[in-house]
A = this chain, B = another copy of it.
Amino acid sequence: MCPQTERLERLITEESGECCATDVAERLDSLRSYRPETPAGPDADLTALRTLGNDTRYTIVRLLTAAGRELCVCEINPVVDVSDSAISHALSDLHDAGLVTRRKDGTWRYYETTDRAAAILTALDETRRTDR
């Protein structure tokens, strides 16, 4: 038996006074059942979190959200302090992650936040400064 389940066995013994092999197996099954079978949801979540967890991209999404309307790339450029190229890359990543939508109008490109991005920002806003 691997050392990790030995530790778990000792924990269960402390908890309930006794512990047989079945108890360990049951606890392990119970814990493992919390892990998702298919990683599709988690993968999408991780992409969203990683994408939003970058200063430039986060700032752009905050800007779009605060504006409350779609913004043209040329409205974002003068406000965010990186190159046009970096902003284009950022918008592209955000779009791939499902956090903004894109609309073309001639040579202009307009971007707007999705509900998903808004929901994440709301969750953050409502729980800031809470240490519990």
Given A50-B50, A108-B11, A116-B130, A27 and B75 contact (CB-CB distance below 8 Å): yes
Q: Does A21 contact B (CB under 8 A)?
A: no
Min distance, Cβ A38 to any Cβ of chain B, angstroms: 13
Q: Does A22 contact B (CB under 8 A)?
A: no
Given A8-B74, A8-B75, A42 and B59 contact (CB-CB distance below 8 Å): yes
Q: Does A86 contact B (CB under 8 A)?
A: no
Cα A4 to Cα B123 with chains together (Å): 34
Partner of A53, one of B28, B46, B78, B124: B46
Partner of A45, one of B79, B101, B124: B124
The 4 closest A-B pairs by CB, nearest first: A49-B53, A34-B66, A50-B53, A116-B127
Cα A49 to Cα B47 with chains together (Å): 11
Min distance, Cβ A126 to any Cβ of chain B, angstroms: 6
Inter-chain contact A11/B53, CB cutoff 8 Å: no
Cα A58 to Cα B35 with chains together (Å): 11
Min distance, Cβ A65 to any Cβ of chain B, angstroms: 8
Given A49-B52, A53-B53, A54-B46, A119 and B126 contact (CB-CB distance below 8 Å): yes
